[in-house]
Structure 1
Amino acid sequence: MFRSRERTAELTQWQGGGKVRGVALLLPGGFVRSRLRPLKFVEQGLHELATELTERGRPDGIAVHLLHYRYAGWNGASADTATDTRWALAELAARYGDVPIVLIGNSLGGRAAFQEAGHPAVAGVVGIAPWLPDGAPVEHLTGRRVLIIHGDRDRTEASAAKSLDYARRALPFAPDLARYEVPRGSHYLVKQADAVRALTTAFVLTVLGGEPSSVAVGELRTPLPPRG
């Protein structure tokens, strides 16, 4: 009897070399429910960020990987996106050893990033228009540095109101938390992509590369500055 091959998650290849001292793991968006393969254009939305992180992080030994999920959706109790993220964290530990990791999740990937932020290797987590459901746990963010970027007009399931509530609940556990709002920004933040990329890159280099911090720690509604 013919049996289809079971799908497996995959990591993109790092476009760098030398000793790895930290890792930036990018987690794309997706859908609440879907057993289809992830859409390429969703992953491509993080391509420029991956490129900038690779170029800027190479001198500090920062490896950059994007996770290809098995499925395009979260899929309820299966939490497939989170499952794939846990696999990726274990795979990165096998490749690079005990190095700090920053999770960078967009939308659906944001939910996975924050859900798995309690992993001992995770030093920081970024959510770009993250999907943070009501009541999502926050205690596991203790000791992590956190950045959330959200358009103030995002009223999708991954709404700005939900990420603001999440940030307020998380702040007592993660005082190194910053949340930026994009004025008149929708869920996709296409027009503000350059500024989002600049802020995210600066945050990752602070956490993994030791650069001075430029984020407004403790502030939950800071307007996103234009890229300088």
Structure 2
Amino acid sequence: MLLLHGGREYGTAVPPPWNLPSLRMRPFASAIGRATWGGDVAVGRVRYRCRGWNGVCEDPVRDARQALDTLVQRFGDVPTVLVGHSMGGRAALRAGGHRLVRGVVGLAPWCPPDEPVEQLAGRRVVLLHGDRDCMTDPDASAELAVRADTAGADVSMVLLRGTGHAMLRRATMWHELTAGAVSALLGLGPEPAVMVRADGFDGCHVREC
């Protein structure tokens, strides 16, 4: 499992090792570690060469794909889940077409209009977004979810009431849902109930909690 923290729209400086976006992901790593304990799961993080997305350079996507290629070299074709927040969520979704990727969990992902979704066909995609997010748009996540579902992904979106981009309010819920999704994607446990499609449901599944 690989974590991708957030970043800036533009920025070519090297991120400091303990920047706030990176620190924000540490409780997620701990929660995922607890949920997958005994399942022979490695929890790692993608190291970015730059602090920003940087337009057509898409630096975080390149870094994510390089990290996945490194996993192939070290461990072979191991099933992998990407978990990304904000800019990292966008990068995770973009890199979701890599052959190792079984699923993507996007936390308040940055989803500009017309973001590609074809690479997500055949993948499980879970999007979590706070309804009070002022940095990235939950409606944009919902729009991407619908398009990804149409493109052949298995998509659920959960809108967390009363919480924003930093994922500090209702932090335990953020951590538990993410860890539960990762555990399920790796075949180590059931999916959180709020993410499960109702019988006979057709189309993208969006719920609030």
Shared topology, TM-score over 0.5?
yes
> How far, CA to CA, are the matches of 2:11 and 2:189 in structure 1?
39
1:42 aligns with 2:21: yes
Alignment pair present for 1:117 and 2:96: yes
State the partner residue of 2:4: 27
The answer to whether the 8 Å contact 2:61/2:95 transfers is: yes
Q: 160, 164, 167: which is aligned to 1:186? A: 164
Structure 1 residue 186: deviation in Å? 1.8
For 1:216, give the aligned amino acid: V
Deviations 1:67-103 (A, max 9, x none): 1211110011111111100110001111111111000
Deviates more, 1:206-215 or 1:67-76: 206-215
Corresponding residue for 2:200?
none
Residue aligned with 1:68, SS:
coil
Mark the runs of 5 or more structure 1 residues left unpaired by the alignment.
Answer: 1-23
Structure 1 residue aligned with 2:191: 213
Q: Tell me the equivalent position of 1:15.
A: none
**How far does the alpha carbon of each residue in 1:182-220 deviate from its partner, in whole angstroms, 9 at most, with x for none?**
113222221122101101111111111332223233554
- Any conservation in 1 of the 2:81–2:101 contact (CA below 8 Å)? yes
SS in 2 for 1:63: coil
Q: 1:67 aligns with which of 46, 65, 69?
A: 46
Count residues in correspondence. 200
Please state which structure has a larger fraction of its residues in helix: 2
Distance across 1 between alignment mates of 2:54 and 2:169: 30
* Structure 1 counterpart of 2:10, one-letter code: R
Alignment of 1:12-161 (within 5 A): 24-39=1-16, 40-156=19-135, 158-161=136-139
Contact kept, 8 Å, 1:60 with 1:209, in 2: the verdict is no
Structure-1-length-normalised TM-score? 0.83
Give 2:12's aligned amino acid: R
- Which secondary structure does the structure 1 equivalent of 2:42 belong to? strand
Conserved 8 A contact 1:145-1:174:
no
Identity percentage over the alignment? 37
Match of 1:166 in 2: 144
Which runs of structure 2 are paired with 1:2-21 in the superposition (5 Å)? none
Structure 2: tracts of 5 or more residues without a match:
198-202
**Cα RMSD, aligned residues only:** 1.5
8 A contact 2:85–2:108 mirrored in 1: yes
Q: Which has the larger radius of gyration?
A: 1
